[in-house]
């Protein structure tokens, strides 16, 4: 018989698609992640927020197994990512779609062929099926009519949408977005935010995006984590963040220039600096 505490542990594990436990990582001796723990529930849209350089991309690269943790683990769909062999990693990555800030599309291929590319590489589907699937993916992002264009002919917002269609080409369980809103005009930005939400719900995905864009995150995500100096400093339902009195959340949500995230780069006391060269007084 299953004890209630065992059952709740099992329920939690099955409702969580990706779990990060006490993750540590350093680049050349410089600690970037210092014990990050978080959980991404199946079916939800989760935002990971933090200032530029706080380690968001580094964290995503652990999710995909591109980086190995110094300590701690990432568990995806029940498997510890850094314990997988090459075949295991390959199979896991088939379940993940990724959209980067830089689209990574092939500029000399058409929009159609960019979406067809992962299908041709990773499946044995016949061309007529690939044709219909590509049009479905493009339709989902509103760009079926653009299928014959070269990607170099696209605007930044359209390029991002094509990258999104490519990220869902192989019907992933999880889709990860690295700075999906960066550098977009307000209309394209809202379009991408709206697509992240709608595709997640319509396709039964789980979505994670890392960004510094608080206002868009609070509109799109179910749950948000705040990352700062290598750890999660705050988390909660997106809907409750505007009224939060957590100092870190307040600073971020209300874009206050100073607070727990310091305006000044760490330095000696200003008075000491000013007195340099003036001799003892």
Ligand X SMILES: Nc1ncnc2c1ncn2[C@@H]1O[C@H](COP(=O)(O)OP(=O)(O)OP(=O)(O)O)[C@@H](O)[C@H]1O
The residues of the shown chain that bind ligand X, judged by CB under 6 A, are 27-28, 32, 50, 52-58, 179
Shortest Å, Cβ 189 to ligand X:
16
Question: Closest CB to ligand X among 54 and 173?
Answer: 54
Cβ nearer to ligand X, comparing 159 with 179: 179
3-state secondary structure of 8: helix
CB atoms within 10 A of CB 210: 25
Per-position b or e across 1-36, b if 16+ CB within 10 A of its CB? eeeeeeeeeeeeeeebbbbbbebebeeeeeebbeeb
In whole angstroms, what is the distance from residue 210 CA to residue 199 CA? Answer: 17
Of the pair 19, 179, the CB lying nearest ligand X is at 179
Whichever of 151 and 211 has its CB closer to ligand X, that residue is 211
Smallest gap from Cβ 17 to ligand X, in A, equals: 21
Spatial neighbors of 156 by CB under 8 A, at least 6 apart, are 183, 184, 185, 188
Least distance to ligand X, CB of residue 224, Å: 15
Distance CA 65, CA 75 (A): 10
Q: How far is the CB of 265 from ligand X (least distance, A)?
A: 13
């Amino acid at each position: 018989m299953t004890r209630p505490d065992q059952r709740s542990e099992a329920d939690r594990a099955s409702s969580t698609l990706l779990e990060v436990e006490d993750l540590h990582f350093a680049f050349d001796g410089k600690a970037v992640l210092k014990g990050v723990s978080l959980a991404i529930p199946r079916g939800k849209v989760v935002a990971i927020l933090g200032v530029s350089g706080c380690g968001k991309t580094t964290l995503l690269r652990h999710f995909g197994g591109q980086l190995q943790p110094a300590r701690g683990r990432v568990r995806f769909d029940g498997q510890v990512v850094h314990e997988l062999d090459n075949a295991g990693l390959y199979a896991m990555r088939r379940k993940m779609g990724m959209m980067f800030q830089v689209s990574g599309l092939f500029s000399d291929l058409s929009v159609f062929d960019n979406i067809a590319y992962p299908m041709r590489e990773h499946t044995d589907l016949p061309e007529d099926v690939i044709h219909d699937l590509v049009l479905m993916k493009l339709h989902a992002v509103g760009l079926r009519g653009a299928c014959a264009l070269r990607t170099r002919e696209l605007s930044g917002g359209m390029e991002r949408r094509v990258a999104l269609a490519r990220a869902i080409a192989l019907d992933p369980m999880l889709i990860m977005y690295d700075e999906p809103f960066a550098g977009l005009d307000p209309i394209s930005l809202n379009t991408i935010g709206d697509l992240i939400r709608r595709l997640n719900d319509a396709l039964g995905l789980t979505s994670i995006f890392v960004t510094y864009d608080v206002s868009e995150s609070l509109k799109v995500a179910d749950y948000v984590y705040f990352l700062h100096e290598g750890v999660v400093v705050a988390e909660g339902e997106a809907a409750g963040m505007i009224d939060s009195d957590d100092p870190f959340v307040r600073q971020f949500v209300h874009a206050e220039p100073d607070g727990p995230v310091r305006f000044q780069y760490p330095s000696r006391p200003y008075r000491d600096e000013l007195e340099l060269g003036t001799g003892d007084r």
